[in-house]
Amino acid sequence: MIKGIGHAGILVSNLDEAVALYCDLFGLERLTQVTHWPGEGMKNVLLKVGNQAFEVMEPTDPEGGLARFLERRGEGLHHLNLEVDDVDGLVKSLEAKGVVTLGRGPGFCFLHPKSTKGVLFELIQSAK
């Protein structure tokens, strides 16, 4: 079951600058410090938006998928994260429906945008 919107992923070319801008314009606070994710080829900061968040991301691997996305489409909204109560169960049922999954790990899974009207969804196991 889908429980709600967890966060919106925003891809930018300069993380520090974007975080400072969003904090200034919208009065948001940082939930995390700059965190590096070498496997994903990016670094990120989570900003608090009520009970949800913005995930602001900057590519760190010039050959990675995020860098290519940034080059092709420019800065902007990148993915939508939904909190679910059972990722594995949901993914199994989605795959049975022919939905194509992308990167997958413990407690999370991305869905290919071609299955979901151009939207890259990230499903994440909710702790709530």
Partner 1 sequence: MIKRIDHISIAVKNLDEALGVFKAVFGLESVHTETIADQGVKAALIKVGDGEIELVEPIDPEGGVAKFIERRGEGIHHICLEVDNIDEELKSLEAKGVALIDKQPRKGLAGMIGFVHPKATKGVLVELAQKV
The answer to whether residue 5 forms part of the interface with partner 1 (CB under 8 A) is: yes
The answer to whether residue 116 forms part of the interface with partner 1 (CB under 8 A) is: yes
The answer to whether residue 94 forms part of the interface with partner 1 (CB under 8 A) is: yes
The answer to whether residue 106 forms part of the interface with partner 1 (CB under 8 A) is: no
Best CA proximity match to 99, nearest among 86, 108, 109 = 109
Written as six digits, the tokens of 28 are 């948001």
Shortest reach from residue 44's CB to partner 1, in Å: 14
Segment interacting with partner 1, rule: CB under 8 A, options 34-42, 61-69, 78-86, 101-109: 78-86
**Residue 101 neighbours by CB under 8 Å, 6+ apart:** 91, 94, 95, 109, 110, 111, 112
Segment interacting with partner 1, rule: CB under 8 A, options 22-30, 35-43, 60-68, 100-108: 22-30
Segment interacting with partner 1, rule: CB under 8 A, options 37-45, 60-68, 108-116: 108-116
Binding residues for partner 1 (CB under 8 A): 1-5, 8, 10, 12, 18, 21-22, 24-28, 49-52, 73-80, 82-83, 94, 97, 99, 111, 113, 115-119
